[in-house]
Amino acid sequence: MMLAMLAAAVIAAPADLTWMAGSWTHEQDGVVTRETWLPPLAGTMSGAGQTNRPGKPARSEFMTITVTPAGLTFTAHVDGQPPTPFVAIPSDPGSAVFENKAHDFPQRVMYRRCGESLCAGIEGMVGGKLRAEHWTYSRVLAPE
């Protein structure tokens, strides 16, 4: 409970994460990953993500960031899986780290601003070894 209160003091509300808002894309080795976050409204941020791998069906997910009794919570809604909550833990200004040690993989979801880019990552232990995936997203500009 004390950790949740401390996390809430570090990032008190989705409004503190306005730097995440926007549409972002990452391309590497033919894989296109896109993520879009709406600006906070009424205590909630909503996001959608899509990953396209050549020759495979697109994988999509829906995410929310809300204040819950546990603290600021990132919840991932991935097709075929129950919603998975990750609670904010203390992190540096301009970054957000959410954790769920009970989840198989990932156990952590991380975001931070990297200049004009949005850096994101997931990590956790798999078979006793740290597994991590990281993305540096570029902002998608609106068509003219």
pLDDT, tens digit, 9 for 90 and up, residues 14-35? 888 999 999 999 999 999 999 9
Query: Which range (52-56, 78-82, 111-115) has the least confidence?
Result: 78-82
Q: Distance between CA atoms of 31 and 120, rounded to whole angstroms?
A: 16
Nearest to 96 by CA among 111, 108, 84, 117: 111
pLDDT surpassing 50 at residue 82: yes
Bridge partners, 65 (sequence order): 45, 74
H runs (alpha helix) in the chain: 2-10
What's the average model confidence in pLDDT over 98-124? Answer: 96
CB-CB contact of 96 with 17 (8 Å): yes
Q: What average pLDDT is seen over the chain?
A: 90
pLDDT-derived band at 11, boundaries 50, 70, 90: low
pLDDT surpassing 90 at residue 114: yes
pLDDT surpassing 60 at residue 83: yes
The domain made up of 2-139 has a fold known as Lipocalin (2.40.128)
CB-CB contact of 140 with 24 (8 Å): yes
pLDDT surpassing 50 at residue 7: no
pLDDT surpassing 60 at residue 9: no
pTM (global) more than 0.85: yes
pLDDT of residue 59: 94
Q: In terms of pLDDT, which residue wins out, 80 or 74? A: 74
Domain definitions of the chain by residue range: 2-139
pLDDT of residue 101: 96
CB-CB contact of 49 with 63 (8 Å): yes
- Residues 6 or more apart whose CB falls under 8 angstroms from that of 83 comprise 75, 76, 77
